[in-house]
Structure 1
Amino acid sequence: MKPLRPYLYHAYYNWLLDNDYTPYLLVDASYPDVDVPTEFVRDDKIILNMSPRSIGQYVVNDDAISFNARFQGMLRDIYIPFGAAQAIYAQETGDGVMFQEETYYDEAQYLARSTEQTESIKVKKAPKTKSTHLKLVK
């Protein structure tokens, strides 16, 4: 079965935006592959403003959330595997959800999946061969 966290994230994110609230995401910055500005991390946690006016290049898939945002005027790329997402809530009211623990997001399982994906990418990259059947026509 697919993990629940991405579905809950999408539902709450859209619900917060539909109600004109500012979505905040609580992230475990110590989780593998998290890429956030470390100077804003406190006790291995960071809270990120996820409102569309605050972020750009926003991409969410079943594995992670990525976007860019400005921190002290500097544009930074952010990458958050869903295993690192701990809660999403409204800044104004605190309404939201803490994500439940899922074995799919255990660090050991995440690292094993990450290794498998890296190996499958290496296998897919076959050496390029020259194609001699195409000709340049002027």
Structure 2
Amino acid sequence: MMLSIAPYLIRAYHAWTEDAKLTPHILVDCTYSSVIVPKQFIQQNKIVLNIASNATYNLIISNDNLSFKARFSKKLINIFVPINAINSIYASENGKGMFFKTEEKPNLKLLD
């Protein structure tokens, strides 16, 4: 199986947006069973996450997943997103970004 280029592009785009003083956001498909996000912020099976260094703790973008801790409603939450569940990464200030094809994966695993 060929290695996906998506995690490399996500890491590169993340670095570019921060170097350009922009704010990187990802759009996540929450129908993937291993997505762990606070469910109260999901809309139409999607969630937008700010992945800027100043908004996350311990951000890791591996070849398989993206994980970090962030505050939601003043509570520190662990976030876990498989790379395949990321629909796009973009700069919130201008909407410029990259879009990725995702596979359909049912079953939600969310935090209350």
Question: Aligned equivalents of 1:51 and 1:19: distance in 2?
Answer: 12
- What does residue 14 of structure 1 align with? 15
Instruction: Identify the structure with bigger relative contact order (alpha carbons < 8 Å, sequence gap 6+).
Output: 2
Counting only pairs closer than 5 Å after superposition, residues 31-110 of structure 1 correspond to structure 2 as: 31-101=32-102, 107=105
| Residue 100 of structure 1: how far off its partner (Å) | 3.1
Q: Which runs of 4+ in 1 moved over 3 A?
A: 105-108
**When the two structures are superposed, what TM-score results if normalisation uses the length of structure 1?**
0.72
Structure 2 unpaired stretches of 5+: 107-112
Contact 2:31/2:105 (CA < 8 Å) preserved in 1? Answer: no
What TM-score results when the alignment is normalised by the length of structure 2? 0.88
CA displacement 1:53-84 (0-9 Å, x = unmatched): 11001112110000000001000000000011
The structure where helix makes up a greater share of residues is 1
Residue in 2 that maps onto 1:29: 30
Contact residue 83 and residue 106 of structure 1 kept, 8 A: no
Larger Rg: 1
Structure 1 unpaired stretches of 5+: 109-138
Query: Counting strand residues as a fraction of each chain, which structure ranks higher?
Result: 2
RMSD over equivalenced CA pairs, Å: 1.5
